[in-house]
Amino acid sequence: MAIREIIILPDKQLRLVSKPVEKVTAEIRRLAEDMLETMYDAPGIGLAAIQVAQPLRLITMDLAKRDENGETAPKPRVFINPEIVAKSEEMSVYEEGCLSIPEYYEEVERPARVRVRFTDLDGKVIEEDAEGLYATCIQHEIDHLNGVLFVDYLSKLKRDRVMKKFTKAAKRAGE
Ligand code: GNR
Ligand code: NI
């Protein structure tokens, strides 16, 4: 396994619409393993392939909670070609962050529950109901596959402010 570089704003690749995974090849398995390692290292609870510059509809996630000793029993999950097939009318608000927008957090309102259909690494099609952090995270990740970022849900003022901050930082780094 290897840790890959996570791309950050204002990298234009984050706006790409990712392509479906046609077949679960050895290369896809390796990408999924690398994404899990990259996600744990960051650390983050989810990662979309485009965040490591691969425009494929592939997501990793681990929502395992820390126990009282601060230990985690890892629950690595891989979602191939995930789709939201139903969503609740009820909405919920979570404070979101994104590894591609480091150290920026804002509240986002999304459907509280969604039904997600995806293929697993064995090529099996699975449907699950998601709520709570799982619902928020899967919607955040599927947005990445469509070139959408959580800042797109904020006011234009807030979005412009964060875009400008990261554009400036990139310019400074490049000088
Ligand atoms: O690590 C992450 N935490 C998080 C918190 C609230 C809502 C969504 C997320 S996903 C994020 C990692 C990431 O950027 N995934 O694309
Ligand atoms: Ni993200």
What percentage of the chain has pLDDT greater than the value 90?
Answer: 91
Residue 4 domain-assigned (yes or no): no
Protein residue whose Cα sits closest to atom 6 of ligand 1? 96
DSSP state of 9: T
Bridge partner residues of 113 (DSSP) = 131
Residue 36 domain-assigned (yes or no): yes
Bridge partner residues of 83 (DSSP) = 117
Protein residue whose Cα sits closest to atom 5 of ligand 1? 96
Q: Is 8 in the pocket of ligand 1 (CB under 6 A)?
A: no
| pLDDT tens track for 10-38 | 999 999 999 999 999 999 999 999 999 99
Q: Is 140 in the pocket of ligand 1 (CB under 6 A)?
A: yes
Q: Measured from the CA of 137, which atom of ligand 1 is nearest? A: 8
Residue 12 CA, chain-centre distance (Å), reads 16
Cα separation, 158 vs 84, whole angstroms: 27
Q: Is 97 in the pocket of ligand 1 (CB under 6 A)?
A: yes
Phi, psi of 71 (to 5 degrees): -90, 150
- When divided into structural domains, the chain yields a total of 1
| Ligand nearest, relative to CA of residue 59 | 1
Residue 57 domain-assigned (yes or no): yes
Residue 67 domain-assigned (yes or no): yes
What residues contact 42, with CB distance under 8 A and at least 6 apart?
Answer: 6, 99
Residue 141 annotated among the catalytic residues of the structure = yes
Pocket test for ligand 1, best of 98, 142, 148 (most atoms within 8 A of CB): 98
pLDDT at residue 137 in the model: 97
Binning pLDDT at 50, 70 and 90, where does residue 66 land? low
Pocket test for ligand 1, best of 47, 137, 141, 154 (most atoms within 8 A of CB): 137
pLDDT at residue 91 in the model: 98
Q: Is 88 exposed, middle or buried (0-12, 13-18, 19+ CB in 10 A)?
A: middle
Residue 55 domain-assigned (yes or no): yes
pLDDT at residue 74 in the model: 85
Bridge partner residues of 110 (DSSP) = 92
| pLDDT tens track for 105-162 | 999 999 999 999 999 999 999 999 999 999 999 999 999 999 999 999 999 999 999 9
Binning pLDDT at 50, 70 and 90, where does residue 1 land? confident
Residue 90 domain-assigned (yes or no): yes
> What residue type is 106 in one-letter code?
E
Q: Which helix (DSSP H) or strand (DSSP E) does residue 84 occupy?
A: strand 77-87
CATH number at residue 24: 3.90.45.10
Residue 112 domain-assigned (yes or no): yes
pLDDT at residue 70 in the model: 67
**If DSSP codes are grouped into helix, strand and coil, which group holds residue 20?**
coil
Residue 5 domain-assigned (yes or no): no
Host domain of residue 131: 12-174
